[in-house]
Amino acid sequence: MCGIVAYSGPKDASKILLEGLVALEYRGYDSAGLVTTHSGIFKAVGPVAELKKKVPESVGGSTGIAHTRWATHGVPSELNAHPHEDCGKTIALVHNGIIENYQELKSALQKAGHTFSSETDTEVIAHLYESYKTAGKTPKDAFLATLRELEGTYGIALIDRAHPDVVLVACMGSPIVIGIGDGEHFIASDPSAIVRHTKKVLYLNDGEVAIVTPRECQVMTLGAKKISRAPETIEWEVEEAKKGGHAHFMLKEIMEGPEVLRTSARGRLRPEEGDVKLGGLLSITHELKRIKRITIVGCGSAYYAGLVGKYMLEEYAGIATDIDVGSEFRYRGLPLEEGAAVLAVSQSGETADTLASIREAKRRGLLTLGIVNVVGSTIARETDAGVYNHAGPEIGVASTKAFLSQLEVLALLTIFLGRQRHLSDTEAKRIAKELASIPEKVEKILKNVEPIKRAAERLKGATNALYIGRKYNMPIALEGALKLKEVSYVHAEGYGAGEMKHGPIAMIEPSFPTVAIAPRDSVYAKMISNIEEIKARKGPVIAVATEGDTEIAKKADEVIHIPETHEMLTPILSVVPLQLLAYYVGVAKGYNVDRPRNLAKSVTVE
């Protein structure tokens, strides 16, 4: 989710690169860097403004590359910021994505005498290219040979000082767009960095490479087979381009769900073996085997994700799990138990109450773990070990894609801890295979938004709404209600459906809608009874149900279907329509859903 910008043409490259970086900053902002074929590398931690302070007025060089980083491997620091160089410092490159086999490649390169100066996966690309160049290959052949050794995802722009007007570009699972100007080319990870210069663009497909000079852009396959494709014209203006053509970041981030789920599981999930590899927990494998109780802490949506995690860990990993919001946990007189661990769930990794809870747990000598999105954030640094989400920066204040990724990482953790205990091979494979197919199922939901829009029409006039669910979907009822409150200011409450009769049913009347999350799972029949009870009191019902469930359509006023999956994974599907529902209601009411009133993205005060 980092940002790449590169240039080859007659102008001062550094100016174009800095402008491009500012436009890309929404993709990541923990550090930035740039280099031209005639300059040394400039790097700075923090926003692009910090980099600008370091880059002199006249840098020289009309070919260059630049990057704004959202850390995945290695904390945000100047050393880890891109561009990265080879040992001879003759080439430099910027990279988006994750090189999964970087450890193997790095060890082999180190044995061959290469010295690494960063902790990143990216740097292996520079040294591999160098080794092929030293062996006598041309830049094109060295680049192609390098790419053929990489496993994982990449968008790459590389400059070689021996060929000062060339940028070598590659794309595999991380987008690259080439802007075609008059005697100049612009390269970027998304059009927002280049639309101010040109609207004529060529998108690289996965497995494609481009050799770009001011006058030429040769596209080819990894096997050096030429590809010719006519450029397209983009209609977006700068602001729209940042949102990928969507009206809001919230919608863009919901739509990124499938990609985020793939990234969060990449290199970790092994469906065929029914197992999971979590590099961030490797150092504490033995301590994890001794865990008898986990206490999850989080705030807001992260707490609700943790609540789903409690059900997962108890049912499939066999570990007693309790959960608390950070603002309560930190004041609880937690009894010290042998074998207890505290797991913080936090997108930002900076939420004050969650952080204070981790500090309190450490003070009491407990093992602390984190599921965190922002690499190098305080919670990531202060926990003993953890798993990163790799969901990329979330700009919309209301959490959407990060929530999805939190659920997925909790499922991965459940398989991992379950396999250390009594989770059977068959069950683990069943869950792992379903998890591997979850991104496609989310895609399917996102392709059919009409029922969700119809449901939003029903909700937009309401002043109150109730969300109900059971077992794995009880927390999703809470999350759905929170989303609606946040972005549409409709008062909504989430309840475990079994609690209806203990109070909330008193509210039901024709103007009070209920959203019932009722996939075909082990509590389906009980959810149907709850829906009947609401209908008997003339309450409108919007149901989220499994595809092919025709029964529920006879009872509910509106049905939103989700594909079938393993019960434990249903929240990953059921929450998606609820995020969209809140979005459509908020937009219909004319609110700025990306910046709801009174809210901040990162709550760093108590």
Q: Which residues are catalytic?
A: 2, 601
**Rounded Cα distance, 558 and 562, in Å:** 13
**Rounded Cα distance, 151 and 104, in Å:** 11
**Rounded Cα distance, 448 and 462, in Å:** 24
Q: In this structure, are residues 20 and 186 in contact, taking their beta carbons and an 8 Å threshold?
A: yes
Relative to beta strand 226-227, strand 217-221 is: antiparallel
Relative to beta strand 367-372, strand 340-346 is: parallel
Q: In this structure, are residues 141 and 160 in contact, taking their beta carbons and an 8 Å threshold?
A: no
Name the nearest CA neighbour of 73 among 416, 395, 388: 388
Q: Is the dihedral of CA 469, 470, 471, 475 positive or negative?
A: positive
> CA dist 320 to 296, 312, 316, 578, Å?
11, 10, 11, 29
DSSP β-bridge partners for residue 180 = 185
The CA radius of gyration of the chain, in Å to the nearest whole number, is 25
Q: In this structure, are residues 443 and 421 in contact, taking their beta carbons and an 8 Å threshold?
A: no
**Rounded Cα distance, 606 and 597, in Å:** 18
Relative to beta strand 385-388, strand 63-69 is: unpaired
Within 196-347, residue ranges assigned H as helices are 238-242, 249-255, 257-265, 285-289, 300-312, 326-329
Number of Cα atoms under 13 Å in the Cβ half of residue 418: 26
**30-61 as b/e: b if 16+ CB within 10 A:** bbbbbbbbebebbbbbebbeebeeebeeebeb
DSSP β-bridge partners for residue 322 = 295
> CA dist 495 to 84, 92, 567, Å?
51, 55, 19
DSSP β-bridge partners for residue 91 = 160
Q: In this structure, are residues 34 and 21 in contact, taking their beta carbons and an 8 Å threshold?
A: yes
Cis peptide before 83 (omega within 30 of 0): yes
Q: In this structure, are residues 475 and 571 in contact, taking their beta carbons and an 8 Å threshold?
A: yes
The residue count for the chain: 606
In a 10 Å sphere around its CB, with 0-12 CB exposed, 13-18 middle and 19+ buried, how is residue 1 labelled? buried
**Rounded Cα distance, 574 and 241, in Å:** 29
Tally Cβ neighbours within 10 Å of residue 421: 13
Relative to beta strand 293-298, strand 320-325 is: parallel
Task: Write the single-letter amino acid at 386.
Answer: G
Q: In this structure, are residues 517 and 492 in contact, taking their beta carbons and an 8 Å threshold?
A: no
What does the binding site for ligand F6R look like in residue numbers (CB under 6 A)? 299-302, 346-348, 351, 354, 398-399, 482, 486, 602-603
